[in-house]
Structure 1
Amino acid sequence: MQLLSSQITGFMENSSWIRKMFESGIALKKQYGEDAVCDFSLGNPDVPTPAMVGEILHDLAKETSAPFTFGYMPNGGFPWARQIIADLIKKEQGVELTADDTVLTCGAAGAMNAFFRAVMEPGDEVLAVAPFFVEYGFYASNHQATFRTVMAKPDTFELDIDAIDAAITSNTRALIINSPNNPTGAVYTKEEIMKLAAVLEKHNKSNNRPIFLISDEPYRFLAFDGIDVPSVLPLYDYAVVISSFSKNLSMAGERVGYIAVTPRMDSRQQLINGLMLTNRILGFVNPPVVGQHMLKAALETQVDPSIYEKRRDAMAKVLADAGYDFHIPKGAFYFFPKAPGGDDVAFCNRLMEEKILAVPGTGFGGPGYFRLTFCVEEEVINRSAEGFKRAIRSVA
């Protein structure tokens, strides 16, 4: 007897390589012990949340008065919380926003689903720059949209503007960029984004509907070596920013995210109203009360980026000493080296024999590479060095 829809059955059969490797890691740790396995599979921040988050939780546990009511609210979040996000975006993106230009959501995933539900018609296309975060395709399919990818430039992972231009059709409704990028660590330059905006504007002139530019930015805070992460909201009339506090406040499980709409967009209030509705009818109803109070307390602080920079340098040394071909990530907390021998799945299986967990690039639309996350302790990174050497030597 069939219990699940054919679509969900298909999703399960093609589920994320990240989760597959994570589950393999659980088995390895049971067999050999936690300290024997070097797990670089899951981008789950291990750096503690800022102290202010704990303090607000302590206050919340004692407080029973109106400021900490747990009742319903407007579907886009408390007005004061939306204003906090508007002020944050003003600082980050250099544009004048009001609370009415933002919607708080249940994480960036909730934000993207609410957005797709608001703007997509069956058969519309969502383009994403590959390598990409694998869940994008599932989110698009949730709303009967076709998901397609355009490869970034090999090795450097810069935007391939000509390829994007060629890939756009009359059905293209949105393009997703993710910078700093998961899984490559690339950070797109302002010049790249301006060229991208010009391409989208060109196609908008011949379409009845605009193409939205979705900038997914949970790693905005984590750029290295003084690199600037350019703002998209001032550069394109149909730009939206989607983000969360999973990484910069180490609150991945609290599920607080947001959408911000460029003030350049005509009739943007219509889009905001649509997002308020879809945030509700998709079942999220409203963002978490506790999470919004956490933001109020902690948004002026964040986890220490220098911790991740030290880990990046440690991982770079391990890979370089072993002879891997890779680019130093400019942001986020991932390396995306070339898979020795070219078969990323086979090489990740070889690494598993060394009790090292990595994720095949195939899972991100980047075959021939593999992903390593360095949001783990330096001791784990350093302990992996000999295993990485043995693995690459075995396929040389």
Structure 2
Amino acid sequence: ASITICFKALCEAGDEFITFAPFFPEYRCFVESVGGKLVVVPPRPADWQIDFAAFERLLTPHTKAVIVNSPNNPSGAIYSEETIRELASILKRKEQAYGHPIFIISDEPYREIAFDGLVVPYIPKYYDDTLVCYSYSKSFSLPGERIGYIAVPDSVADFGAVFGAIAGAARVVTHVNAPSLWQYVVARCVDEPSDISKYVENGKLLYDGLVRAGFTCVKPQGAFYLFPKCLEDDDAAFCERAKKYGLLLVPGADFGAPGYFRAAYCIKTDTIRRSLPLFQQLADEYKK
């Protein structure tokens, strides 16, 4: 809801919103539903950071906002501080060149799910015109309970107008009224650290198993997804073949990165253990 509210609040005729592949597929639906155009920067599969040369080519005077999702769904990548600084530097230059604000919409439901001591940069520290969208549904493992917030720093250009537009857009999206029970739960637990040990265990187990089976994959830094390379060029056909082994995977083309697939590990550890021989059988089929 927070993402759709921001799009609804910001979008005017002719506006473009840029995101980076791989990206959450519903961004396209959300942007187009308010009359905007989604512009996708091609992926950088080596590390899933930002291809800045491609990004700069796609910026235009019609760019209203840039969508950032870190830790990322589906790749599990975390944008480094260096990446965020470069992104902020480019956008500051373009704001001056175009004569209007370009917002960053930071989609952060996985903020606390970061591995190996990695820190997720807080983008408003680096770029004034940032809106932060957050949901407790991931950090508190409350799937389906859509309770969260939109942070509108007072550093944002035209703060009063932007804040008012977001408040108005939220009011007309009537499904965002969170039940009082979950408001009490969040208030009680908000300062408690999230226990991500199970995600760490599951991610390592699945990553190691897939690499042993012959898959190529960038080790995830956060969230709870792997985004390996398919064993054939047609990712849809690959995922369809995987169903024969009881493996439900999502084609990378859905996320703007054809040739890859998403596997989620927010499931029971035993399910992952039982899946590994099946991934091996799937890989062996391609060796025949």
Q: TM-score, normalised by structure 2?
A: 0.95
Higher relative contact order (CA 8 A, sep 6+): 1
Question: Pick from 76, 81, 96: which aligns with 1:185?
Answer: 76
Question: Pick from 379, 387, 395: which aligns with 2:270?
Answer: 379
Match of 1:174, SS state, is strand
Question: Pick from 220, 224, 233: which aligns with 1:342?
Answer: 233
The answer as to whether partners of 2:112 and 2:194 remain within 8 angstroms in 1 is no
What do residues 254-288 of structure 1 show as CA deviations (whole Å, max 9, x unaligned)? Answer: 21121112332243232112211111123347444
Match of 1:246, SS state, is helix
Partner of 2:201: 310
- CA distance in structure 2 between the partners assigned to 1:357 and 1:117 by the alignment: 33
Partner of 2:131: 240
Match of 2:142, SS state, is coil
- CA distance in structure 2 between the partners assigned to 1:303 and 1:179 by the alignment: 17
Which range is displaced more, 289-298 or 235-244? 289-298
What do residues 141-199 of structure 1 show as CA deviations (whole Å, max 9, x unaligned)? Answer: 11100111002312311111121111111111011010000000110111111110111
Q: Does 1:135 align with 2:58?
A: no
- CA distance in structure 1 between the partners assigned to 2:5 and 2:216 by the alignment: 39
Letter in 2 for 1:359: V
Match of 2:31, SS state, is helix
What do residues 197-226 of structure 1 show as CA deviations (whole Å, max 9, x unaligned)? Answer: 111111111224211011111111011111
Partner of 2:91: 200
Partner of 2:10: 119
Match of 1:206, SS state, is helix
- CA distance in structure 2 between the partners assigned to 1:230 and 1:256 by the alignment: 22
Partner of 2:121: 230
- CA distance in structure 1 between the partners assigned to 2:84 and 2:31 by the alignment: 23
Return the index of the structure with the highest Cα Rg.
1
Q: How is 1:79-98 mapped onto 2 (pairs within 5 angstroms)?
A: none
Partner of 1:293: 184
Partner of 1:19: none
Q: Does 1:145 align with 2:36?
A: yes
Partner of 2:245: 354
Identical columns (%): 37
Match of 1:176, SS state, is strand
Unaligned runs of 5+ in 1: 1-109
What do residues 15-48 of structure 1 show as CA deviations (whole Å, max 9, x unaligned)? Answer: xxxxxxxxxxxxxxxxxxxxxxxxxxxxxxxxxx
- CA distance in structure 1 between the partners assigned to 2:181 and 2:107 by the alignment: 23
The answer as to whether partners of 1:178 and 1:217 remain within 8 angstroms in 2 is yes
The answer as to whether partners of 1:245 and 1:252 remain within 8 angstroms in 2 is no
What do residues 36-65 of structure 1 show as CA deviations (whole Å, max 9, x unaligned)? Answer: xxxxxxxxxxxxxxxxxxxxxxxxxxxxxx
- CA distance in structure 2 between the partners assigned to 1:271 and 1:290 by the alignment: 30
What is the RMSD computed on CA atoms of the aligned residues?
1.4
Partner of 2:160: 269
Shift of 1:343: 1.7
Question: Pick from 131, 140, 147: which aligns with 1:256?
Answer: 147
Pair 1:155–1:343, CA change in 2 (3 A): farther
- CA distance in structure 2 between the partners assigned to 1:313 and 1:361 by the alignment: 21
Which range is displaced more, 373-382 or 251-260? 251-260
The list of structure 1 runs, each at least 4 consecutive aligned residues, that deviate by more than 4 angstroms after superposition, is none
Letter in 2 for 1:314: L
- CA distance in structure 2 between the partners assigned to 1:246 and 1:285 by the alignment: 13
- CA distance in structure 2 between the partners assigned to 1:317 and 1:206 by the alignment: 47
Partner of 1:167: 58
What do residues 81-105 of structure 1 show as CA deviations (whole Å, max 9, x unaligned)? Answer: xxxxxxxxxxxxxxxxxxxxxxxxx
Shift of 1:303: 4.3
Pair 1:289–1:208, CA change in 2 (3 A): farther
Question: Pick from 89, 111, 118: which aligns with 1:220?
Answer: 111
Shift of 1:294: 1.8
- CA distance in structure 1 between the partners assigned to 2:162 and 2:106 by the alignment: 16
Match of 2:150, SS state, is strand
The answer as to whether partners of 2:85 and 2:126 remain within 8 angstroms in 1 is yes
- CA distance in structure 2 between the partners assigned to 1:287 and 1:378 by the alignment: 31
Match of 2:78, SS state, is coil
- CA distance in structure 2 between the partners assigned to 1:287 and 1:374 by the alignment: 27
Aligned length: 287
Shift of 1:290: 2.9
What do residues 212-248 of structure 1 show as CA deviations (whole Å, max 9, x unaligned)? Answer: 0111111110111111111101111201111101111
